[in-house]
Amino acid sequence: MPVGTSPAALNLAEHLEPAHLELARDPVHVELPADVRDRIARCRGFVLEVSASGRAIYGVTTGFGPLVEFAGRPDSAGQCDNTIFHLIVGHGELLPPAVARAAVLARLFSLAQGRSGVSEQVVDSLTAMLDTEFAPAVPRLGSVGASGDLQPLAYVAHALRGNGNAFFQGRLMPAVEALALAGLKKLVLDGRDALALVNGISVTAAALGLAVAQAVRAHRTAELLSALMTDVLGCGTEFTSVGLLAAFGHPDVAESGASIRTWLEGSTPSGARPLQEPYSIRCTPQLIGAAGTSVRHAGEVVRRDLNGVSDNPLFFPETGEVVHGGNFFGQPSAFAADQLNVALVQLGNLAERQLDLLVDPCRSNGLPPMLSPLPGQHHALQGVQLCATATVAAMRRAATPASVQSLPTNLHNQDVVPFGTQAALTALDQARLLRYLHAGLAIGLRQAVHVGARRPQGPRLAAVFDRLAQEVPPITEDRPLDTALGRVADVLDSLVSEVEGAS
């Protein structure tokens, strides 16, 4: 975080939104209002009261999973160790620190609902962690998303206790060193605290929420780039007709058409294009609008997850109930993530096909092949298109739904599982890959004007073009474009975020 800036602020009494999760990549200050603290303390007192009565409570007096029929460790510290240690078996690449921190933020909001029975010091420790640059080191593989995200959340608790590894300021090191550098104390847990930390879908919700936040931008970026391509090539705009799209009957399609029309205000067709454009232009409202429906649905689902309670058991001090059930079963998120994944792949298909149209002289009104100023001597967008093709292929391979891959495990205690964690992390991967497909198309549009296409006529699109041209000089001779793709992806995110903020 830059010197002299203050952390972003959130409040546990308010709703957690997907966009809030992105704040967690940097230090974020989370307020714990008195009424929230009171409900946490009231639930905790009820748990201690019920435990003292000798009543059986899963994970407090019992073993875990199929071993529930056996008594747990008699000492609270031992029960905590058992909860966490047997789950430290994950593998694969580590989640990015920003994702791990977003998962902590999501878990904090769930625990703050006052139904999990955690001690106040757990909530205080999570808020303190988020106010620093500490991030637990969490392996990607290990969760089936059925009894919550057991393994990844166990690594969160493990690191906060000073075990295993963690990141500080983006550098991987032993967790005990990272805690010291962050000015944090080791987290001390009892059995109920430990189970409440690991027994929820907060990694799934965090990954899906981050994917949704980026997908919202990607959806708007697809509208923007489709409008820019329409203007640069001088295409007709009849495909955005209000009456045409209203007759289709899909509100999100009509909304995408309206967005493209707004971008195109002030632009007139050149008259040099065919009566009917290829589908990668003519059907953009229908494709992008349908993707918007999936993005919106995923957003609705993940908001419920982020503001609900995914734990077992739940405690209701007002009625004296301890309720054992399956709120940790992340099926809604799994379905939503898979649907979002498919929508993101189709947006990727669109961007790749639009780039292909642009670099093909037979379909671009005679622009030079690969948009090269000297074909043969320089290759301009040739490498960008190869990378786009490889990226789309990778996205398609990853589009197989995870939510239907149920495998029984855990002595058939978990005999049906949703694999929501894998679905959500894949959706996040896809959203990030799509950024680079959009960036490649944007560089192509910038280059097209340099080699003979018209400058955008619409004032808003002309302003966008100027931003892109400022970031990426024309390709007069071949040069590396990898870092330029990243910069343009950031510019596109900023452009559509500005539009969203103004609307």
CA distance 63 to 78: 12
Two tokens, residue 313: 């058991």
Catalytic residues: 58
CA distance 205 to 290: 23
Please report, rounded to a whole number, the percentage of residues in the chain having pLDDT higher than 70. Answer: 98
- How does the average pLDDT of the chain come out, rounded? 94
DSSP assignment, residue 375? B
Q: Whose structure tokens read 């019992």?
A: 62
CA distance 398 to 390: 13
CA distance 135 to 12: 20
Among 300-309, 313-322, 405-414, which is the least confidently predicted range? 405-414
Residue 503 has pLDDT above 80, yes or no: no
CA distance 214 to 302: 14
Q: Which secondary structure element, helix H or strand E, spans residue 168, and what is its range?
A: strand 165-168
Residue 4 has pLDDT above 50, yes or no: no
CA distance 185 to 119: 16
Partners of 91 in beta bridges:
141
Among 285-289, 328-332, 346-350, 457-461, which is the least confidently predicted range? 328-332
24-44: average pLDDT: 97
What pLDDT score does 288 carry? 98
Confidence of residue 55 (pLDDT cuts 50, 70, 90): confident
pLDDT in tens, 204-232: 999 999 999 999 999 999 999 999 999 99
Among 49-63, 239-253, 258-272, which is the least confidently predicted range? 49-63
CA dihedral 205, 107, 304, 97 (to 10 degrees): -30
Confidence of residue 3 (pLDDT cuts 50, 70, 90): very low
Q: Whose structure tokens read 């939104």?
A: 17
Which among 42, 351, 356, 72 has a CA at the least distance from the CA of 194? Answer: 72
The answer for residues whose C-beta is within 8 angstroms of residue 439's C-beta and 6 or more apart is: 484, 485, 486, 488, 489, 492
Please report, rounded to a whole number, the percentage of residues in the chain having pLDDT higher than 90. Answer: 84
Terminal Cα distance for the chain, rounded? 29
pLDDT in tens, 170-200: 999 999 999 999 999 999 998 889 999 999 9
CA distance 134 to 128: 10
260: exposed, middle or buried (Cβ count in 10 Å: 0-12, 13-18, 19+) = buried
221-249: average pLDDT: 98
The answer for residues whose C-beta is within 8 angstroms of residue 420's C-beta and 6 or more apart is: 145, 201, 204, 208, 330, 331, 333, 334, 337, 402, 403
The answer for residues whose C-beta is within 8 angstroms of residue 400's C-beta and 6 or more apart is: none
What pLDDT score does 501 carry? 65
Residue 397 burial (CB count, 10 A): 9
Length of the chain in residues, anyone?
Answer: 503
353-373: average pLDDT: 96
The answer for residues whose C-beta is within 8 angstroms of residue 480's C-beta and 6 or more apart is: none
What pLDDT score does 70 carry? 82
Among 161-170, 298-307, 325-334, 444-453, which is the least confidently predicted range? 325-334
What pLDDT score does 144 carry? 87
Partners of 314 in beta bridges:
323
Pairing of strands 314-316, 165-168: unpaired
Q: Are 235 and 273 in contact (CB under 8 A)?
A: yes
41-63: average pLDDT: 88
85-95: average pLDDT: 94
Partners of 174 in beta bridges:
165
81 vs 44: which has the higher pLDDT: 44
Residue 2 has pLDDT above 50, yes or no: no
What φ, ψ does residue 377 adopt, rounded to 5°?
A: -80, -35
364-386: average pLDDT: 96
The sign of the torsion formed by the CA atoms of 135, 139, 142, 145 equals positive
Which among 359, 361, 409 has a CA at the least distance from the CA of 389? Answer: 359
CA distance 268 to 251: 26
DSSP assignment, residue 18? H
Among 64-73, 127-136, 237-246, 386-395, which is the least confidently predicted range? 64-73
The 3-state DSSP class for residue 241 equals: coil
The 3-state DSSP class for residue 31 equals: strand
Angle between helices 150-160 and 202-233 (to 10 degrees): 110
Chain centroid to CA 341: how far? 11
Q: Whose structure tokens read 């008594």?
A: 71
25-47: average pLDDT: 96
Q: Which domains does the chain have, with CATH numbers?
A: 8-200 (1.10.275.10), 217-311+329-502 (1.20.200.10)
DSSP assignment, residue 29? E
Residue 146 has pLDDT above 90, yes or no: no
What pLDDT score does 502 carry? 56
CA distance 386 to 118: 52
